[in-house]
Structure 1
Amino acid sequence: MNRPPIPPMFIADAPGLDFLNSIATPVDVEIDWLDSGEGLLTWLERASLVPRPVLDTFHASALPGELDAVAAQARSLREWFRQFVRRHKGRPLTPKALVEIEPLRRLLEQDDAFAEIVVHGHGEGAVFELQAQRRWRSAEALLLPIADTLAKLICGEDFSQVKACEGLQCTMLFADHTRGHSRRWCSMALCGNRAKVAAHRKRRKQMLHEAPLNAQPGAHLKSQPETRLQLHAQAQAQTQTQQKAP
């Protein structure tokens, strides 16, 4: 399977929504970063949901087609949960929604997670820490950290601020954590910029249409919008900067 031309995007401000955005059209062609077992492993690593040694173990020991089958399950989970989010976004969740998430609850019941006490440092400066661990009994266990992010989205996110990008062809979802809850785009460097360029072109066309016949050509400044690949690079850089910020 060919590697996607661009890396996955994590711009939703909510890991559960980043999972839904693992299929998107950031440039011109739809990209599914979970289109194969290899793609699933890569996405899980980029999302920091599964430790690299665990992924390496599954990559080396999985039976032929085993990881591809798990990736197919991940895609089914993604599209099922997408429908749930689209039904409820924009308003608070009510208790009636509990019945709808029964498949997710059954998946969470399969988790073999536990807590472990570990020590960092030596002597009097040592620090005790409670660390989450998980027993990875099969390749299907790779779905469990994903299910955990979906559960945290349901229990910890204000669904009234879960929004869909206003880009005309964009399918991305995000949690609006901005002051005043005024976020409209998946990324200002992507759909936000496209909207600005489109608005500029519309205004310029209208001005040219209304201009007198003797108007000099080139009287208006011509915009030089960057290519979509450049915009995608800006969005990725913006996301990395936000993730590094304290």
Structure 2
Amino acid sequence: MTQDHRPAPIFVGESPALDFLNSIAMPRSVLYDWLEAGPGLLDWFVAAGLAAESELAPFRKADAAPALEGARQEIVALRERFRTFIEEAGGSPLTDPEHPIIAEINAILTRGARFQQIAPTTEGDTQSLILVDKHPLTDPSDLIVRIATAAAHLIAEADFHYVRNCEGPTCTLFFLDISKNHKRRWCSMEVCGNRAKAAAYRKR
């Protein structure tokens, strides 16, 4: 599927790390991979809120293409290893602190320059200051650090009881169930939820 005919990326995961897994998906019997080329990878980073276009502009230049492709291949390989981890760990407490993916993520997090800054934030009508981590993107190889950071937050902060795969029979999408009663079953009611309702109706 070419970039020009691809639908917008899917963000139903309630976690950037799970949206990363969902960057390859088959929502309507067609497989889409939003990371299959360097420009698509950069577009996905912007859409996911993991980078600003101004940060990525240098990586869109022709002379950056080889480094960008190398970074893309590393990111895609991590995506599939992280998918295996989520498939194994989702739906139950996370009990293996020595899992290889955790060591891999920790190793990635040591890469590149990092610093902290005090920055303003607004919640409702209230303004305050927060301490934020910064990781400048000086080379395409730095992109994977932002993915690893998102994955680390999921692993360290999420209740893995509520990390789930959509129950749609052919759906590949993952999500973190943050609903009040933790009864979410579908990537979205508009897609798989309505299909399930229609199938149940036909069966009755």
TM-score, structure 1 normalization: 0.74
Which position in structure 2 is the counterpart of 1:221? none
- Runs of 5+ unmatched residues, structure 2: 122-126
TM superposition shift of 1:52: 1.5
2:7 maps to 1:6: yes
CA RMSD of aligned residues (A): 2.0
Which position in structure 1 is the counterpart of 2:69? 68
SS in 2 for 1:178: coil
Which position in structure 2 is the counterpart of 1:170? 171
Change (3 A) 1:177 1:118: closer
CA contact (8 A) 1:88 1:159 kept: yes
CA contact (8 A) 2:3 2:40 kept: no
SS in 1 for 2:65: coil
- Distance in 1, matches of 2:69 and 2:4, equals 15
SS in 1 for 2:196: helix
1:190 corresponds to which letter in structure 2? V
1:55 corresponds to which letter in structure 2? L
- Runs of 5+ unmatched residues, structure 1: 121-125, 204-246
Which position in structure 2 is the counterpart of 1:150? 151
Q: Residue deviations 1:34-83, cap 9 Å, x none?
A: 00111100000000101211111211264333212211111101000010
Moved more, 39-48 or 85-94: 85-94
Moved more, 32-41 or 104-113: 104-113
- Distance in 2, matches of 1:75 and 1:4, equals 21
CA contact (8 A) 1:115 1:133 kept: yes
TM superposition shift of 1:3: 2.9
TM superposition shift of 1:85: 0.8
Which position in structure 1 is the counterpart of 2:124? none
Which position in structure 2 is the counterpart of 1:92? 93
SS in 2 for 1:98: coil
- Distance in 1, matches of 2:89 and 2:173, equals 15
1:16 corresponds to which letter in structure 2? A
Which position in structure 2 is the counterpart of 1:83? 84
- Distance in 2, matches of 1:59 and 1:108, equals 24
Which position in structure 2 is the counterpart of 1:133? 134
Larger Rg: 1
Q: How does 1:1-246 map to 2 (within 5 A)?
A: 2-60=3-61, 62-94=63-95, 96-100=96-100, 101-117=102-118, 130-203=131-204
Q: Residue deviations 1:156-208, cap 9 Å, x none?
A: 100011111100000111111112211100111000011111112222xxxxx
CA contact (8 A) 1:24 1:172 kept: yes
- Distance in 1, matches of 2:140 and 2:15, equals 25
Q: Residue deviations 1:9-56, cap 9 Å, x none?
A: 111111111110110012231000000111100000000101211111
TM-score, structure 2 normalization: 0.88
SS in 1 for 2:137: coil
Q: Residue deviations 1:205-231, cap 9 Å, x none?
A: xxxxxxxxxxxxxxxxxxxxxxxxxxx
CA contact (8 A) 2:163 2:174 kept: yes
CA contact (8 A) 1:90 1:159 kept: yes
2:169 corresponds to which letter in structure 1? L
Point out which structure has higher relative CO (alpha carbons under 8 A, 6+ apart).
Answer: 2
4+ residue segments displaced more than 4 Å: 126-129
CA contact (8 A) 1:111 1:141 kept: yes
- Distance in 1, matches of 2:88 and 2:120, equals 45
